[in-house]
């Protein structure tokens, strides 16, 4: 009887863990988070691994006020959002900033690139000043309607908020645009895989 109780307890623990979030490449992504005291709770829309050639670079998690499975619906959804990147290897901040800049240019119109050039420069300069993002570091790109986009490193704000919701949408296109940084990651962030 004791073994049966242990199996039931283990099954319950597994179900509880599965219900409380997701695990991607050994990284725990919480099912619900709150990015500010006055912001609504956000739900994990999806998460996946960004791989470059054969190297796992980071685990990304997309958090929204409501789940969406179509990129255009995510981009149109108003309100607070978070894109969380958990490093699976050491990266220089310059590598991260260059990747963001390249993805931004690949997924936004010339008009949007011109409109948000100053904000993109400020974002990449801010990320570039972080030095090195060590394996396990968490970079979060948060959007708060009353403040703009903020960059968080391991839970600490870096610099001042940048831009408006239009700029945040343009940044999200790095992962959700027509030419995303990784097509498999895009599907995972949209909960399609």
Tens digits of per-residue pLDDT, 146-174? 999 999 999 999 989 998 999 999 999 99
Question: Is the pLDDT reported for residue 11 higher than 80?
Answer: no
Position with higher pLDDT, 19 vs 99:
99
**Is the CB of residue 189 less than 8 Å from the CB of residue 62?**
yes
**Is the CB of residue 62 less than 8 Å from the CB of residue 175?**
yes
CA atoms lying within 13 Å on the CB side of residue 85: 29
- Rounded to 5 degrees, φ, ψ at 172 are -60, -25
Question: Is the pLDDT reported for residue 134 higher than 70?
Answer: yes
pLDDT at 10: 31
pLDDT at 53: 85
**Is the CB of residue 29 less than 8 Å from the CB of residue 22?**
yes
Question: Is the pLDDT reported for residue 7 higher than 80?
Answer: no
pTM of the model: 0.86
pLDDT in tens, 70-114: 999 999 999 999 999 999 999 998 899 999 999 999 999 999 999
Q: Where are the domains of the chain?
A: 23-189
Tell me which fold the domain 23-189 belongs to. Answer: Chalcone isomerase (3.50.70)
């Amino acid at each position: 009887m004791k073994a049966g109780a242990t199996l039931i307890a283990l099954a319950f623990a597994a179900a509880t863990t599965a219900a409380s979030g997701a695990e991607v490449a050994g990284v725990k992504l919480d099912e619900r988070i709150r990015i500010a005291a006055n912001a609504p709770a956000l739900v994990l829309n999806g998460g996946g691994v960004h791989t470059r050639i054969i190297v796992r670079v980071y685990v990304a998690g997309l958090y929204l006020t409501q789940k969406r499975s179509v990129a255009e619906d995510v981009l149109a959804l108003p309100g607070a959002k978070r894109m969380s990147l958990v490093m699976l290897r050491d990266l220089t901040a310059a590598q991260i900033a260059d990747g963001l800049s390249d993805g931004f240019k690949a997924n936004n119109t010339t008009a949007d690139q011109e409109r948000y050039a100053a904000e993109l420069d400020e974002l990449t300069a801010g990320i570039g000043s972080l030095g090195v993002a060590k394996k396990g570091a968490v970079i979060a790109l948060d959007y708060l309607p009353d403040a703009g986009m903020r960059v968080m490193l391991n839970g600490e704000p870096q610099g001042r908020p940048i831009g408006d919701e239009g700029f945040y949408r343009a940044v999200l296109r790095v992962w959700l645009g027509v030419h995303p940084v990784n097509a498999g990651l895009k599907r995972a962030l949209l909960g399609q895989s």
